[in-house]
Amino acid sequence: MEKTGIDDLMIVVEDLALTLVSGTNPVNVLHGLSWSVAAGESVAVVGPSGSGKTSLLMLLSGLERPTSGRIVVAGQDLAHLDEDALARFRQRHLGIVFQHFLLLPAMSAEENVALPLELARIPQARALARQALADVGLGHRLHHLPGQLSGGEQQRVAVARAFAGRPALLLADEPTGNLDAETGARVMDLLFDLHQRHGTTLILVTHDSRLAARCQRQVRLVAGRMEET
């Protein structure tokens, strides 16, 4: 197999640690993780509840700062960015799909998808939003509010929002956790199809072994430590 070069890497993590304070007691969430992910790769992060999976995604997105260690995403060392620069970095390079849809209830599906693009000053934001919603089969629901959509439709809006700006990296945290099995399967088919069509690097946190098996490789977190599976 051809060796992956540094320019082909989307994520480089070196000796990463995260310690949080609960009351007066420090809680070691992640311990000395070193890890890399190639551009365009799909990786499942698995492990028991409380093992640090969501915390890892928060660090990779710059929504949480590590206690120590280094994170480089898309060639950018996140430690060198202030909060405004991190927000711009997320707008340009990242898509994030959460277990909870996090749609703005007073905005239509189109407006929810277009808003991050408009904030990033991406041209033709509304046209991109409409295309993204068409890609997830919701071209006929553009003007519906979240409360007028089913759970599966709301999650598809969240997927469209994550992909509309054609991000280099997509982080998905239990994206089917609030859906029934059939709807969850359709959402994941969509997620993997978009990942493959656009060459987006995908990091998927999941408890579902069947979903994890669809990724090119898996890593397991146990008590804040990582092992390849």
- Residue 201 has a CB neighbour count (10 Å cut-off) of 23
Kindly list the distances between the CA atom of residue 196 and the CA atoms of 61, 73, 190, 199, 214, in Å, as whole numbers in the listed order. 21, 20, 10, 5, 12
Scan for tokens 């007066």, then name that residue: 24
Query: pLDDT digits over 56-71, tens only?
Result: 999 999 999 999 999 9
- Cα–Cα dist 200/216, whole Å: 13
Whether residue 18 has pLDDT greater than 60: yes
What is the pTM assigned to this prediction?
Answer: 0.87
Query: What's the pLDDT at 214?
Result: 92
Query: pLDDT digits over 102-120, tens only?
Result: 899 999 999 999 999 998 8
Query: What's the pLDDT at 1?
Result: 34
DSSP three-state, residue 181: helix
- Cα–Cα dist 70/72, whole Å: 7
Phi-psi group of 15: left, alpha or beta (phi > 0 → left; psi -120 to 50 → alpha; rest → beta): left
Query: What's the pLDDT at 128?
Result: 94
Query: pLDDT digits over 144-186, tens only?
Result: 999 999 988 998 899 899 888 888 999 999 888 777 888 788 8
Query: What's the pLDDT at 2?
Result: 38
DSSP bridge pairs for 20: 27
DSSP three-state, residue 218: strand
Can you identify the CATH homologous superfamily of domain 40-63+90-228? Answer: P-loop containing nucleotide triphosphate hydrolases (3.40.50.300)
Res. 53 pLDDT band, cuts 50 70 90: very high
Kindly list the distances between the CA atom of residue 120 and the CA atoms of 60, 66, 166, in Å, as whole numbers in the listed order. 19, 26, 13
CB burial of residue 131 (10 Å; 0-12, 13-18, 19+): middle
Average pLDDT, the chain: 89
- Cα–Cα dist 1/102, whole Å: 41
Q: For 14, phi and psi rounded to 5 degrees?
A: -130, 115
